[in-house]
Copies of this chain bind each other. A is one copy, B any other.
Amino acid sequence: MPKFMKSLNIISRCQSSFRNAKLGSELCSAHHSLVLAICREPGRSQDDLAKDICIDKSGVARALASLEAKGFVERKPDPNNKRKLLVFPTEKLLEIIPSVRSVTAEWNRIVSEGISEEEFAVFQSVLFRIEKNARKIVDNQEVTPEK
C-alpha cells in the first residue's frame, strides 16, 4: 500500500542537489556525510566510517583519498593494528565545516516547514526503526544470499 520509498529517494536526491549547489566549490560533492562523521568523532577507521554511513568501503577509501589529496583529512596508521587507517580532520576541514553544518541546517529548516514538533518526533522515531530494519536486511543478505 505505501509507496513511501519513492518519496524517500526523491528527498535524498533533492538534498544532494541542494548541497552541491550550495557547497559545490568548497567540498567535492557528496562527501558531506563523511566529513561530518569524521569531525564528530576523529580517529575512526575507514571501515568503521563505512559501516556507520552504510557505504561500501571502496567508496569510502576513494572519497578519503580524494579528501586527503585536497588537504581536508589526514590518515594515520593505527599503532595497534597495522591494517587500520585512522582518519582525522585537518585545520582546513575544520574551517569549512561550519558552512557545511549551516547548509545542512538550512535544508532541515526548509524541508520541515509546516510540520509540528509532535509529528516530527514520530517521524524520526519511525525513520530510525526503518533504518535499523534496513541495515539488518542487507547484513543478513550477505550471510544468506539465497533463502
- Which single member of B55, B108, B133 contacts A113 (CB below 8 Å)? B133
Report the nearest B residue to A11, measured CB to CB: B134
Q: How far, in angstroms, from A141 to B14 measured CA to CA in the complex?
A: 11
Q: For chain A, what secondary structure do more than half of its interface residues adopt (helix, strand, loop), or is it mixed?
A: helix
A144: min CB distance to chain B, Å: 11
Residues on B with beta carbons closer than 8 Å to the beta carbon of A9: 12, 15, 33, 53-54
* A45 lies within 8 A of chain B by Cβ: no
Interface size class of A (residues with CB under 8 A): 35 or more
Assuming the contacts A15-B134, A33-B9, A54-B10, asked whether A119 and B112 have C-beta atoms less than 8 A apart, the reply is no
Q: What 3 A-B pairs come out closest when comparing CB atoms?
A: A14-B134, A123-B126, A7-B131
- Interchain Cβ contacts under 8 Å between A and B, 15 examples: A2-B108, A4-B108, A4-B127, A5-B15, A5-B107, A9-B15, A10-B53, A13-B55, A14-B135, A18-B137, A21-B141, A111-B137, A113-B133, A122-B122, A122-B123
